[in-house]
Amino acid sequence: MRRIKETKSVAARTLRVFFFGDSICFGQGVSPHRVWVGRLSAALEQQFASSVDLQFQNPSINGNTTRQALERIAYDLQSHSPHIVLVQFGMNDCNVWETDRGHPRVSPDAFRANLSEIIDRARIFGAKQVILGTNHPTTRTEKLLPSVDYTYEAANRSYNAITREVAAAKSATLADAEHACDAAVNAGEVTYESLVLDDQLHLSVTGHDIYFRSRLPVLVSALASVAATL
């Protein structure tokens, strides 16, 4: 009987952490063990394993927008009732394809609404902490996007601003990658070019390091807060 009770106790203290995003969470172009999500999982496991059973999941998909995320959220997120969710979108939403005649893949208003709904759904299905992430600066700063008068990087920073607005409006925790990267560049630690791969968009190992270092304290605080309630 004692073993049965102990098993139930451990199961009751399982804390589920989900990373829900696009290629920036998936880690396109970088070995899995160097991606910031995997590094965070390992560091948090080491810190909290003695007090709580941690389960990390990363149902992130390359190329996804917030619209596509909502289409798959029922299984990828809701069905697992995560306690903590880190949401990372925007780099695909803000992009403009040649075939879209100057309209972004997801409009600013729709992006705002989609982020809000993702947060609402995460909370309805058990999330006690929702973390909303902005994206890093890219070096796509010269060529204009198709049929518009602005660059990809201008669009990226514009959607980051929307992410901050939604985080404030929905009382979600903000993990501001743009701010962390700008600060590291201004301090002379890195260059914008060193943060991204040759495609000028996806994170390099250096970029993943900035995400890891800046988001570790955010996740530590979230885990400590939720673990205390289990």
**What is the model's pLDDT at position 5?**
40
Q: What is the pLDDT along the chain (230 residues), one digit of tens a residue?
A: 444 344 434 444 899 999 999 999 999 999 999 999 999 999 999 999 889 999 999 999 999 999 999 999 999 999 999 999 999 999 999 999 999 999 999 999 999 999 999 999 999 999 999 999 999 999 999 999 999 999 999 999 999 999 999 999 999 999 999 999 999 999 999 999 999 999 999 999 999 999 999 999 999 999 999 999 98
DSSP letter, residue 39: H
The amino acid occupying position 154 is: A
Q: Are 76 and 93 within 8 A, CB to CB?
A: no
Helix axes of 108-124 and 152-169: crossing angle, nearest 10 degrees: 40
Q: Is 132 exposed, middle or buried (0-12, 13-18, 19+ CB in 10 A)?
A: buried
C-alpha 42/C-alpha 17 separation (Å) is 12
C-alpha 118/C-alpha 127 separation (Å) is 11
pTM, whole model, 2 decimals? 0.93
Q: How many CA atoms are closer than 13 Å to the CA of 229, on its beta-carbon side?
A: 11
What residue ranges define each of the domains in the chain, with the CATH number in brackets? 14-227 (3.40.50.1110)
**What is the model's pLDDT at position 167?**
98
Give the number of other Cβ atoms within 10 Å of residue 125's Cβ. 16
The first and second tokens of residue 95, run together, are 């992009």
Which residues share a beta bridge with 55?
A: 16
The first and second tokens of residue 19, run together, are 């990373």
The amino acid occupying position 161 is: A
**What is the model's pLDDT at position 1?**
41
The first and second tokens of residue 6, run together, are 């102990």
Q: For residue 48, report the phi and psi dihedrals to the nearest 5 degrees.
A: -110, -5
Q: Which residue has the tokens 């660059």?
A: 151
**What is the model's pLDDT at position 8?**
37
**What is the model's pLDDT at position 6?**
40
